[in-house]
Structure 1
Amino acid sequence: MRVWALPLALLALALCVTYSVATRPQPWTPAAPLRPAVVTPEVLAKRLVSMQAGWPRSRKFDCSKLKCVALTFDDGPGEYTARLLDLLRAHDVRATFFVVGQMVEADKGGRLTRRIVEEGHEIGNHSWSHPALAGLPREQIERQLKRTDDLVEKLTGVRMRVMRPPYGSTNERVVAELRREGLAEILWSVDTLDWLNRVPAVVAKRAGAAKPGSIVLLHDIHRSTVEAVPAILATLAKKGYTFVTVSELYGRTPAAGRSYSER
C-alpha cells in the first residue's frame, strides 16, 4: 500500500463506524405524559370578568322605529334550556333569561348559566327559591335577591340588573328592595300561560299575538315551550319583528327600582 493511501483508508473506516453507531436503532423510551393546565378558580374568575367586559353586549336597535319584541324565559336553567339555547343560536336570536338561584346552584357548575351569558343573552334575577315576594318581610326579600345575584356573578362575572318577581308578586316593599339591590322590575305584557296549557301550538299562538314593544312571558323548564319556539320565531319574523333583550327593547339598562311591562 502506498503511504498516501493509508490515511485515506483509516478515515473511511472511522466514517463507517460513526454512521453505524448513529443509525443503530435506539431503545424506545416513552415520552413523559403531558400535564393538563391547571386553571384555578381565581384564574377562571379573571377570565370570565375579562370576557364579559361591557356586558350586556347591546346590538343597538332603535325600537322606537323597529317592531321589537322581547322574549323572556323564567324559572331555569333546566333540562330543556340547552335545546332552547341551540334554537336561539341557530336563528341568531337573543332573549332574556330570569333564573332561579336554586336552579343555578344545581346547574352542574354553572355550565348553562355561563352559556346564557356567553351567547349574548341577558340574564336576570328570579329570586332564590321562587316565593311570592310580596308576602315576605324585607330581610327575606333581600336574601332572595342577593343570594341569587352573588351566585350568578361568581359564575359569570356579571352583576344582574333586571329582575322578575315570581308570579308577578310585588308591592312597595319589594320595589324598594329592588332599588337597594340595583335591580329593575320586569313584568310582561303577553302571558302565554305555557305552564298551564302545555301544548306547543297553543303557546305559539299566544306568543304570536305580541304587539310592537311587547315583553313575552315563557318558561324554559317546560319541554312544550321549547318545542313551541320555532313556530314563535317563524310567526313573529314573518310579521317583521326584531327579537331583542329587555335592555335592548328600551335602548338602555332599565332603571333600578322602576317597573316595566312593555315599551
Structure 2
Amino acid sequence: MRGWAVALALLTLMACGGEPWPRREHQLAPVRAPQAIDPAALARRLAAIQPGWPRSRRFDCAKLKCVALTFDDGPGEYTPRLLDELRRRDVKATFFVLGEMVAADRSGHMIRRIAADGHELGNHSWNHPSLTGVSGDELKRQLRQTEELVHRLTGVRMRLMRPPYGATDKAVAEETRREGLAQILWNVDTLDWRDRDPEVVARRAAAATPGSIVLMHDIHPTTVEAVPKVLDTLAKKGFTFVTVSELYGKEPLAGKTYTER
C-alpha cells in the first residue's frame, strides 16, 4: 500500500485564548457532521497493515528543554498549510478545536488528519463563548457536543480543554472534572489574533522558556506564516517540541488548571 494511502487510512483511526472572538474571513457554513466511523474495526485493519502503530513518544521534560506549541479556534482553511510544515519537521503540537469548525468541514478530513499526524486534540468548546457566563446546561453542551463530534469522526476521546478567553471559575472546573478534561492555559501569549505580523508573532513565541505552553491560532494566515521561524528559533535554542500531555509526562488531571510545566 502506498504511504499516502496508509496515512489516509490512519486519519479515520486516531483518534484561545484571551482574545476577543475573532471575525473569520471565508468561514464555511456549518453542515451536518459526516457519517460516523467504527474506530475499532479500522484499528484492526490498520494493525495488519502497519504493526506497532502509533509510535510511542516519551520525553523527560524535567531534563530536556521542552516546549508545547498550541493552536486554538480551528480547524480552518489555513490549518493544512500548518500541518504540512509540522509534518515536514516532524513536530507535534496540540490543537484546541471548536466544534462548529470541525462540523464546517464537510468531509471531516481535517480533524482526522490532525489526529493521524500524531497531534494532540483538545476541546475548545462548540462556538467560543465565555464559559463563566453561560448556564450549567449550556456549559455541559458546549463541551459534550464538541467531544462527541470529535470522537465520532476520529475515535479520539479528548482529555484536555482550553476555556475560551482563558475564562474559568469553580463551576467550569467542576464541569471539566466531570467530563474528564484538564484545563490547559498558557504562559506565552503571542497575541497573534491582534498583531497580524509574522515577525512579531515569531519573536513573542521565541520568548518561551523550558516548560512553556505557547498560545497561537491556526485560523490566521500570518500565524501559519510565522511558524517556520518559530520552529527555527526555538530549535536553535535547543528546545524539544512536545504535546501538552508529553510536556507533563502523563495525562494531566481532570479539572485541574495548567499554565506551564
TM-score bucket of the superposed structures, by smaller chain: 0.7 to 0.9
- 1:188-227 aligned within 5 A: 188-227=186-225
Inter-CA distance 114–176: structure 2 relative to 1 (3 Å threshold): same
Q: How many percent identity over aligned positions?
A: 65
Equivalent of 1:135 in 108, 133, 136? 133
The alpha carbon displacement at 1:55 in A equals 9.7
The alpha carbon displacement at 1:44 in A equals 6.5
The alpha carbon displacement at 1:126 in A equals 0.2
The alpha carbon displacement at 1:109 in A equals 2.1
Equivalent of 1:84 in 82, 85, 106? 82
CA distance in structure 2 between the partners assigned to 1:148 and 1:56 by the alignment: 24
SS in 2 for 1:71: strand
SS in 1 for 2:77: coil
Rg comparison, structure with higher value: 1
CA distance in structure 1 between the partners assigned to 2:171 and 2:53 by the alignment: 29
Match of 1:47 in 2: 42
Question: Is the CA contact 1:48–1:156 (under 8 Å) kept in the aligned structure 2?
Answer: no
The alpha carbon displacement at 1:47 in A equals 1.2
Question: Is the CA contact 2:36–2:153 (under 8 Å) kept in the aligned structure 1?
Answer: no
Number of equivalences: 224
Q: Give TM-score scaled by structure 1 length.
A: 0.81
- 1:89-128 aligned within 5 A: 89-128=87-126
The alpha carbon displacement at 1:90 in A equals 0.4
The amino acid that maps onto 1:79 is E
Inter-CA distance 51–173: structure 2 relative to 1 (3 Å threshold): farther
Question: Is the CA contact 1:55–1:158 (under 8 Å) kept in the aligned structure 2?
Answer: no
Describe the superposition over 1:203-242 as per-residue Cα deviations: whole angstroms up to 9, x where unpaired: 0000000000000000000000000000000000000000
Question: Is the CA contact 1:45–1:154 (under 8 Å) kept in the aligned structure 2?
Answer: no
The alpha carbon displacement at 1:46 in A equals 2.9
Match of 2:181 in 1: 183
The amino acid that maps onto 1:233 is L
CA distance in structure 1 between the partners assigned to 2:231 and 2:133 by the alignment: 36
SS in 1 for 2:209: coil
